[in-house]
Structure 1
């Protein structure tokens, strides 16, 4: 019985995660832009014949940007739900969350430059 519940809960959890990913893609312009960039970079990976290590690093960078962007969206939505009107502390929290996305995006851009610039030049 416990094993069935564990499997059933995992399957439900995957369903919730897929629903959340779909909600992000459908409703958040920042995620939509990141998805387009991810598709372009994936096509570029095939065009430039990336090595296995380059693929791993690129996939990790893309996943990290999308994941942190999703967490940022969740923090913003939760903040707006908890405190709908302007609040300086909530604003600070949202700014810090956006800053985390910026750090990851800068890192992913640097990774992309390190992978592709030598191939282009």
Structure 2
């Protein structure tokens, strides 16, 4: 009989799995690579323009939201492809909805970026 692992051991393992998933996402998904590049550029811009604490918070939330939703989109696409590998209209709709969620989060992240940086640039 195996001894049940402690709560903290399980949490530590969960963080490890999550980190592994994030690394896999960054290594394999072109869209996450682009978003990570944009996040780095915007972070550098934040230091350059000396944005406020509130602007940093909004910027970090926007970056995290877009990249998280992209990860969920990628997972949904992988599950859909696993369940139904050949083209199917309903699977296509599911994938489009997931991609639409990424679009919405990215659109509003751009709005946040414009609100923060347009006054600083002009």
RMSD of aligned Cα (Å): 1.1
Q: Which residue of 2 aligns with 1:24?
A: 25
Map of 1:22-101 to 2, 5 A cutoff?
22-101=23-102
CA–CA separation in structure 1 for the residues paired with 2:6 and 2:89: 44
Cα shift at 1:19: 0.2
SS at 1:84 equivalent: coil
Shift of 1:101: 0.4
The answer for unaligned runs of 5 or more in structure 1 is: none
With structure 1 as the length reference, what TM-score do the two structures score? 0.97
Q: Secondary structure at the match of 1:53?
A: helix
| Cα distance in 2, alignment partners of residues 87 and 9 from structure 1 | 38
TM-score, normalising length from structure 2?
A: 0.96
Moved over 2 A (4+): none
Using the TM superposition, give the Cα deviation of residue 5 of structure 1 relative to its aligned residue in structure 2, in angstroms. Answer: 1.1
The 3-state SS of whatever aligns with 2:51 is coil
Number of aligned residue pairs: give it. 120
